[in-house]
Every structure is written in structure tokens, then in C-alpha cells.
Structure 1
Amino acid sequence: MPRYDFRCRSCGATFEVSRPMTEASAPARCPGGHDDTVKLLSTVAVTGGAAPAPAPRGGGGGCCGGGCCS
């Protein structure tokens, strides 16, 4: 289930709410009980242990990559 970040305008608290995507725009109450909150724009950091794909090498295919251009 997606998590959405919110900030309370009354007390400044930042908090997360887990809810279905269909309820992404629904208002959220802060842990302090305040209703004046705003949903924050979240960024996603993707990290992993996989090595990057090797760069393609020349030759084979395409007009100028296959040697048909002079």
C-alpha cells in the first residue's frame, strides 16, 4: 500500500499515512489531532546492488553502424 507524506500547518509535524491510491487526495489528520495538513510531494530514491548494463559496442546493425556508409 502506498505511503504519503503530510505536514501539519498548525504544529509543523511531518508524518506518513498508508492508504490506497484511490484515497491519495483525502485529507489527513496529524498525530497531534490537527486537521490543517498538506500532502507533500514525495521523491523516490532507487538504489540497488545490480551492476549497470554495459554500453553497446560498435558494429552490427543500422546503416552507419553496419558499415554501409562510405
Structure 2
Amino acid sequence: MPRYEYRCRTCGDTFELNRPMAESSAPAACPAGHDDTVKLLSAVAVGGTAAAPARPAGGGCCGGGGCG
């Protein structure tokens, strides 16, 4: 189940909720009980040290096939 992050406009608290995607835009009350909240955009961080895939030898638009 996806996790969504919200911020309360009343108290400024930031909190997360697990809810189905179908309910992602439904209103969410903050833990303190305030109803004036806004859903935040979350950036997914993907880390790793893998190198970019190697390009095929020969170049060209068709992978070295000489497209004219």
C-alpha cells in the first residue's frame, strides 16, 4: 500500500499515511485532529553505484546499421 505525506496547515505538523491509491486525494486529518491538511509531493530517491549501460559499438541511429 502506498505511503503519502501530508502537512497540517493549522499546526504545521508533517505526517504520513498508508492508504490505497484510490484514496490518495481524499482528505486526511492530522494526528492532532485538524482537518486543514495538504498532500505533499514526495520525491523517490533511488540510489546505487551502477554505471550507465554501455553504448553499442558502431553508433548511428540504428545501432550501427547505417540508416542512410
TM-score (norm 2): 0.79
Report whether the alignment pairs 1:63 with 2:66.
yes
**Aligned-partner Cα distance in 1 for 2:42–2:56:** 37
- Pairwise CA distance, 1:8: 0.2
SS of 2:15's partner is strand
5+ unaligned residues in a row in structure 1: which ranges? none
Quote the sequence identity (%).
Answer: 70
- Moved beyond 6 Å, runs of 4+: none
- Pairwise CA distance, 1:19: 0.2
Count of residue correspondences: 64
5+ unaligned residues in a row in structure 2: which ranges? none
- Pairwise CA distance, 1:33: 0.7
| CA offset digits 1:5-56 (Å, max 9, x no partner) | 000000000000100000000000101110000001111101135x224422
TM-score (norm 1): 0.77
RMSD (CA atoms) = 1.9
